[in-house]
Amino acid sequence: MTQVTLTKTHQNPPQIIQSRVKRDWMDNTYKKHAYQCLPMTTANVNGWELILPQDVVVQWDGGNNNVKILSGGEHMGRSIAYGGIVGMVSFSVGWAFGTEEGYETWISGPPNYMIDGASPLSAIIPSSWWPDEFQMNWVINKIGEPVIFEAGTPFMFFNIFKSDLLESVKFKVENLWDKPELMTRRANYGSAKMKKNQDEPWTWMKGIKTGLNEKGEKIGPANNGLIKLDQPTL
Q: Are 226 and 42 in contact (CB under 8 A)?
A: yes
Note the pLDDT tens digit of each residue in 80-115.
999 989 999 999 999 999 999 999 999 999 999 999
Structure confidence at residue 132 (pLDDT): 84
| 204-217: pLDDT as tens digits | 878 888 888 888 88
Single-letter code of the amino acid located at 68 = K
DSSP 8-state symbol, 67: P
Model pTM score: 0.90
pLDDT of residue 123: 96
**pLDDT for position 209:** 83
Cβ(158)–Cβ(104) under 8 Å?
no
Residue pLDDT tens, the chain, 234 long: 899 999 999 889 999 999 999 999 999 999 999 999 999 999 999 999 999 999 999 999 999 999 999 999 999 989 999 998 999 999 999 999 999 999 999 999 999 999 999 999 999 998 777 778 899 999 999 999 999 999 999 999 999 999 999 999 999 999 999 999 989 988 988 888 888 888 888 888 788 888 888 888 888 888 888 999 999 987
State how far the alpha carbon of 8 is from the alpha carbons of 93, 106, 134, 179, in Å.
Answer: 9, 19, 12, 55
In order of their start, the domains of the chain are 4-168 (2.70.40.10), 171-229 (no CATH)
Q: Left, alpha or beta for 67 (phi > 0: left; psi -120 to 50: alpha)?
A: beta
Q: DSSP label at 151?
A: T
pLDDT value of position 181: 92
